[in-house]
Chains A and B, each alone.
Chain A
Amino acid sequence: MFNNSSVIKLEDISFSYLGSDTKVLDHLNLEINKGDRIGMMAPNGSGKTTLLHTIMGLCKPDSGTIKVFGKVLNHEKDFLPVRSKIGLLFQDSDDQLFCPTVLDDVAFGPLNLGFSRADAIDIARKTLEKLGILYFEQSVIHKLSGGQKRLVALASVLAMEPEVLLLDEPTAGLDNIVKKKLIHILNSLDISYFVISHEFDFANAVTDKIYSMENGKILRDDEIHIHRHEHVHKHGKHPHIHK
C-alpha cells in the first residue's frame, strides 16, 4: 500500500558504550524502504550489531532520531508496539530460543501479541511448515543442531508477521545445505530485510544492494566496491605467484 515508503529511518544517530570515548555510531543515517533487500558487509567491531540493537530500542542512542513507520521513537514504551513489526534474528540462536520445545518457542511471540492459544499454535505450525521444519515441532530445543536452531529462530521471528526483518549474521556457523535453504527462504519472503553477513556469496544471493560501515557511518552502494574475480589460466593446480 505504501510503495517505496520509508519503514525505518535513522537520522544523525550517535552512540557510544558507557565508559568509552569511541563512537560506535557517529552521526549515522540509514533509511530502509518498503521492499528493500539490503546487505551489510563490514569488518568485525564496526558497530553492525549495535546498529540493529539501536533500531530495536535495545541500545539508547546519545543523539539523533529513530523513525519507524513515520513515528519518532524515544522511550521504551514507544518501541513496544514497533518490536512486533520488526523481526530481529540474533547472532546466536541460543539467545533467542529460550522455551523448552520448538512449538512453545515459535508460539511465544503470537501469544504475547494477544492471540488465543489455538490461534498461536496454528500460526506457529503454519510458520514451521513454510520453512519445511514442521516435523520437529515437538523437539526439545537444546537437542537440536546449530542449523536446525537457526531455522527455528527464524520461524520464531517470522511467526510475529513482521514487516521488516533484521538479520544478524544468519549464516554464521552453518553448512552449505542450511545456507542454501536460508537463501531459498529469504528469496521467497515478501518482506523487506536488512542482512548483516560476512559472506559475499550469501549477501549477493539474497540482497539487491550492499552497504558497508566505517568509522560509525554507513557507506552506500556507490561508494564501495565489493567484488570477486574469477579467472582461468594455464598454471593449473601447480602453486604459482601472480605478478
Chain B
Amino acid sequence: MIEEQFAYGSSFIHSLDPKIRIIASIVLSFATALCDNLYFAVIYFVVSIILIVMARLNMIDIFKRLRPVFWFLLMIWIILPLTFEGDILYQFYGLKITGQGVILCCKITIKSITILLLFSALIATMTVASLGNGLHRIHVPDKMVFLLLMSYRYISVIEEEYQRLLRAAKFRGFNPGTNLHSYKTFAYLAGMLFVRASLRAQRVHQAMLCRGFNQKFHTLDDYPPNRLNSIFLMVISAASLSLVIFEMIWI
C-alpha cells in the first residue's frame, strides 16, 4: 500500500541525516508558501528542481506522483481567471478573463508544485522508519512519532481485515448498490473494523508490555556527525532567508 519507491538510493541527498532533511524541507516550504511574487516563486521552483536532480530521482516517476495535484490545479485554472476581479485580459460575451486572475493561478501552480517537489526530494527519499527517527530527534513528542510509525505498520493489516470482511459479505451474495441495505452493510463493516482495530490495539499493547515497553522511543538508526549535514542546512537556510529578505526589500 505504501511504496517507498524513492527511499533507497545512494545520492548526496540520501546520505544526509533525516533530521537535517526534515528541517530543510520545513524551512524551504515555508519560505515558498509565504512568497508573493511570481519571479521569486520561479526561483524556489528552480531550487526544488535542483534538489530533485541532486537526489537523482526518475523524472517520470516524479511526474506520476504530481498527477493528483494537477486535477486540483485544473479546477483553479477553470474558476479563478473568470471570477477574480481585475483588469480584463480577454472578453467573450459575459465571460471575462482577468490578468490578475491568471497571475494568481500561475503563482498557486508554481508554489504548490514546488512544495511537492521539495518534499519528494527531501522527505520521500527516506523510509518511514527514518522519518520517525528524524522527527524524534527534532523533539517531536514520542506519542506522535509512535502514531506515525504504528499507522505505517498497521495500515496494511487493517486494509487486509477490511478486504476479508468485504469478501465474506460478497461470498454471501452481497452486491453493493445505492440502497439502504448496502449502506447498512457498509456501516456494519466499518463498525466491525473499529472493533477489530481496538481489540488489536489492546493485544499489541499487551505484546509491547511483555517485551518491557516503558513509553520510551528507542531507535537503531545511527547517523554519524558529518560536516556536509550542517553545510547543507546552512546553505538552504541562508538561501531561503536571503530570498525572503530580498522579496521584502524589493517590493
Contact = CB atoms under 8 A, between A and B. Distances in A.
Interface stretch (A31-39, A105-113, A126-134, A186-194): A105-113
A87 B127 CA distance: 30
Interface size class of chain A, counting residues whose CB lies under 8 Å from the partner chain: 35 or more
Nearest to A153: B207
Contacts of A83: 209-212
A84 B204 CA distance: 16
A95 B208 CA distance: 9
Contacts of B62: none
With a 10 A CB-CB cut-off, give which of A58, A95, A140, A157 has the most chain B CB atoms.
A95
B153 interface: yes
Interface stretch (B75-83, B112-120, B172-180, B214-222): B214-222
B51 to A, nearest CB: 25
Nearest to A57: B209
B155 to A, nearest CB: 8
B214 A112 contact: yes
Grouping DSSP codes into helix (H, G, I), strand (E, B) and loop, the B interface class, with mixed when no group exceeds half, is helix
A100 B157 contact: no
Contacts of A141: 153
Contacts of A120: 218, 220
B153 A111 contact: no
B129 interface: yes
A84 B208 CA distance: 11
Interface residues of B, number: 28
Given A95-B203, A98-B204, A142-B156, A104 B220 contact: yes
Nearest to A88: B210
A12 interface: no
A88 B209 CA distance: 11
Nearest to A53: B206
Nearest 6 CB-CB pairings of A with B:
A112-B212, A111-B218, A100-B129, A95-B203, A109-B211, A142-B156
30 contacts: A53-B206, A56-B206, A56-B209, A58-B209, A83-B209, A83-B210, A83-B211, A84-B212, A90-B207, A94-B154, A95-B203, A95-B206, A97-B153, A98-B154, A98-B207, A98-B208, A100-B153, A107-B218, A109-B211, A111-B220, A112-B211, A112-B213, A117-B218, A117-B219, A120-B218, A120-B220, A140-B127, A141-B153, A156-B211, A160-B211
Given A88-B210, A121-B220, 9 more contacts: A58-B206, A58-B209, A84-B212, A87-B210, A98-B208, A100-B128, A100-B149, A100-B153, A104-B129
Interface of A: 53, 56, 58, 80, 83-84, 87-88, 90, 92, 94-101, 103-104, 107-109, 111-113, 117, 120-121, 140-142, 156-157, 160
